[in-house]
Structure 1
Amino acid sequence: MGRAIAGAALLAVLVSGCATRGSVREVQADLTAVRSELQALRRLHQDTAREVAQAAAELRAIEDRLRELTAGTSAAGAEVSRLRSQLVAAEDAIRKLQAELAARPTPPPPPAPEPAPREPAVRAPAADALFQTALATFRAREHGQAVLEFLEFLARYPKHALAASAQYWIGEAYFLQRDYRQALVEYQRVFEHPGADGVAPDALLRIGLCYDRLREPERAAETWQRLLREHPSSEAAAEARRLLKTRRAAARP
């Protein structure tokens, strides 16, 4: 079409007899401009067509998504209705069960449990014999075995009047083996057992000696001072006074 227009224009110029080189060039330039405009219009038309097609596709996708959402909403509504029906049925069943339970007679209370059998009384002769056996083992310098026997005594007779004494001799066994840290632990356990008052002075004296052997003189002195306050007239207190006096004299320059 562009070529036809250009030819017609050129023919008109020639027929009029006024054609010059300059006028021909002007016509050709005009024709070139027309062709460019036509090409631009074609590209614009193509771009517009593509945009319209893309918009149509997006619109169809939106419509499909809308249909899916509508279907999902309907399904959710149906599920809610189903659950509501189940809840109503469950509430009806609970009310029915409560009514049945209320109509039943109250069962009689269960019988009182039988009293627990009393523990047999500890046989004092057996406990004393076990204690004396452990003490004899200790005096035979079998300190490890003596610890085991005193522990057996405490396990079998934890409330016996000699329990604190048994614990004290366990501490003595470790002390004589120079295991002062374990001896300290065992002496401190004396006060957890019945009958601790009878061996408390000796236990405090030994606790102080353990601290002294472990090079903790301040704690040793504190323990001996406690012994003097709580048991001032005991033989252990007299020994504690002597030890404190000796330590003070040694500390003087």
Structure 2
Amino acid sequence: MILRGLGHFCPVLYCVAEGVFLVTSCRSPWATLPLLLSLLATVHPATARGSADEIAALRQSQVESNRELERLRDNLVILEGRVLDQQKQLNDLRGNLALLRSGSADKIPLPAGALPHEAYLRAFGDYAAGRYPQAIIGLEAFIAANPTNEYAGNAQYWLGDCYFLQQQYALAVAEFRKVMHNYPAAPKAPDALLKSASALQALNLHDQAREALETLSSRYPNSAAAQKIRQKN
């Protein structure tokens, strides 16, 4: 079969098998698709079946593509919701920190289930603002009420540092040692040994200070605190 002049406005079909010209007038060549398939089936049935199968496959592919697009759109909506939720939490945290730094800790809301964390933030806010007596009270209360909390080890370190920054070195050493005894895996444990050594040196207890540094190097060789010692040496 030969197809001539298959244009947008007037497709012309010539069927060799029948010796007949067929002229159709339409605005779109797709309107002649059923006729084309019918003629193909008459002249070459195998070709017609192949064309029909290809069209069916294309339609199925389009359906699957549409489904995948809808799935991606749904996932995008979910992700946008999560981003907005995380942004809200971040904004709330920034607001709380601003209140802590301004000394308005009593204005921070304490939602249910977040009391230990908020208590820690309050005490740390006092420490960061240089209100060491208030920080000591808050940190001691937090540790006593939440000895196994994930922030307890850090709270113990900040408690020792409150005394250290007030040059109460004996009390600082006692609190830093509690970090090692009660929270040896805490992130601030290496720093507690380093600060303890500094406090011991201030007390002229140089042998004990050296022992603290040796313990730091042996227990936490890869810590930032141990690296500071190596850089000084």
Under a length normalisation based on structure 2, what TM-score does the superposition of the two structures give? 0.49
Which one has a larger percent helix, Structure 1 or Structure 2?
1
Is the strand fraction higher in 1 or 2? 2
